[in-house]
């Protein structure tokens, strides 16, 4: 049996050529995209997907051209939230065309391809050892999606990332210097502590690009579930009891978004937010969207 040390060079796989070829297809495919924005968090369940979709909606309402890539391949939520669960992938003019929400946001989500009753499996040559290949396969798939779909001319391509401080860094490495990061937390100390770790992980190596240019940009964070919107009393009430010494996140806060059960219902049913315009959650999302836009436009463009 051959061990790793017995393999000479690339073992005849031409792996470096394959990676370079995929990279060049991705660069071509994203040539018309102005901003890549990844929404992440070390912590799960804090509202990354919800904010990605509804910030995209608020930006779309300003006339921007937006697409979302749901990078959570194993537990995709964007297809349901965006109402594209039964979408078809059809040939476009050059590549595969993306399904769109009613308000015109292009969405790629594994949830449009695989029903919720089924799991996506990353096959492994060795049974019971799927972890060996998982990250490699996951990122190869992400690359194929970026290279094969018709992203076209976009103001923003948003990535809804899976949770995990370490995984967020892997996405940052994969997406390279063009990608900016928006982190999501909730007002619990547990979540803030984990997100503080994500900030530390992403900040490491963030500024060692060629000629002192940034490798990645941390735009800031959003505090989601910042209070609970009670419809009966039309007031925002505390949801978490704030600590005397909250963990400090050393990046700008782009805004706070309250918990609104109506928003959760909209997400579950795949309804757009337009019918919640003049509510605290609608206004909060609109404010964060504007802050995000200002932050993107005010930061110098990183190298292509
Ligand atoms: N501000 C909010 N108001 C009401 N419901 C919310 C809010 N933010 C998130 N939710 C709900 O909380 C749940 C978790 O949100 P979401 O799936 O967006 O989190 P996530 O961070 O993407 O999770 P994961 O880490 O699994 O990807 C969803 O049911 C969503 O509808
Ligand atoms: Mg999610």
Provide the residue-wise pLDDT of the chain in tens; the chain has 304 residues.
777 678 788 778 777 888 888 889 999 999 999 999 999 999 999 999 999 999 999 999 999 999 999 999 988 999 999 999 988 888 888 899 999 999 999 999 999 998 888 888 777 666 777 777 788 889 999 999 999 999 999 999 999 999 998 899 999 999 999 999 999 999 999 999 999 999 999 988 666 555 555 667 899 999 999 999 998 999 999 999 877 777 788 899 999 999 999 999 999 999 887 777 789 999 999 999 999 999 998 865 544 3
76 Cα: distance to centroid of ligand 2 (angstroms)? 7
Count of all residues that appear for the chain in the document: 304
- Nearest Cα neighbor of 195 from 302, 45, 295 is 45
Give the residue among 219, 184, 203 at the shortest CA–CA distance from 43.
184
Cβ–Cβ under 8 Å, residues 22 and 143: yes
Distance 178 CA to ligand 2 centre (A): 22
Atom of ligand 1 nearest to the CA of 225: 1
DSSP state of 151: -
Tell me the domains of the chain and their CATH numbers: 18-297 (3.40.50.300)
CA of 173 to the centre of ligand 2 (A): 20
pTM attached to this predicted model: 0.92
What is the rounded distance in angstroms from the CA atom of residue 238 to the CA atom of residue 30? 42
Residues with CB under 6 A from ligand 1: 44-50, 72, 75, 77, 162-163, 224-225, 257, 259-260, 263-264, 267
Ligand 2 centroid – CA 167 distance (Å): 13
Q: Which of 267, 269, 282 to mutate to test the pocket of ligand 1 (most atoms within 8 A of CB)?
A: 267
Contacts of 96 (CB under 8 A, 6+ apart): 89, 90, 148, 149, 150
Ligand nearest to the CA of 53: 1
Q: How far is it, in rounded angstroms, from Cα 100 to Cα 84? A: 7
């Amino acid at each position: 049996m051959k061990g790793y040390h017995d393999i000479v060079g690339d073992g005849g796989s031409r792996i470096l050529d394959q990676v370079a070829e995929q990279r060049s297809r991705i660069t071509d495919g994203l040539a018309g995209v102005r901003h890549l924005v990844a929404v992440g968090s070390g912590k799960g369940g804090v509202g990354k997907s919800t904010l990605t979709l509804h910030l995209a909606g608020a930006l779309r309402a300003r006339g921007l051209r937006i697409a979302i890539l749901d990078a959570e391949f194993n537990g995709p939520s964007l297809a349901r939230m965006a109402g594209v669960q039964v979408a078809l992938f059809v040939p476009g003019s050059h590549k595969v065309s993306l399904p769109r929400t009613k308000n015109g946001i292009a969405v790629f989500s594994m949830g449009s391809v695989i029903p919720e009753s089924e799991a996506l499996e990353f096959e492994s040559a060795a049974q019971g050892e799927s972890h060996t290949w998982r990250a490699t396969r996951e990122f190869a798939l992400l690359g194929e999606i970026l290279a094969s779909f018709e992203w076209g001319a976009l103001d923003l391509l948003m990535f809804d990332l899976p949770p995990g401080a370490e995984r967020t860094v892997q996405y940052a490495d994969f997406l390279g210097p063009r990608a900016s990061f928006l982190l999501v937390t909730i007002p619990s100390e547990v979540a803030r502590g984990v997100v503080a770790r994500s900030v530390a992980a992403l900040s490491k190596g963030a500024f060692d690009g060629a000629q002192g240019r940034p490798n990645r940009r941390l735009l800031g964070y959003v505090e989601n579930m910042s209070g609970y919107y009670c419809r009966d009393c039309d007031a925002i009430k505390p949801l978490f009891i704030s600590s005397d010494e909250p963990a400090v996140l050393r990046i700008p806060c782009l805004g706070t978004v309250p918990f609104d059960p109506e928003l959760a219902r909209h997400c579950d049913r795949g309804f757009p937010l337009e019918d919640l315009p003049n509510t605290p959650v609608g206004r909060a999302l609109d404010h964060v969207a504007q802050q995000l836009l200002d932050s993107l436009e005010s930061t110098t463009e990183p190298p292509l």
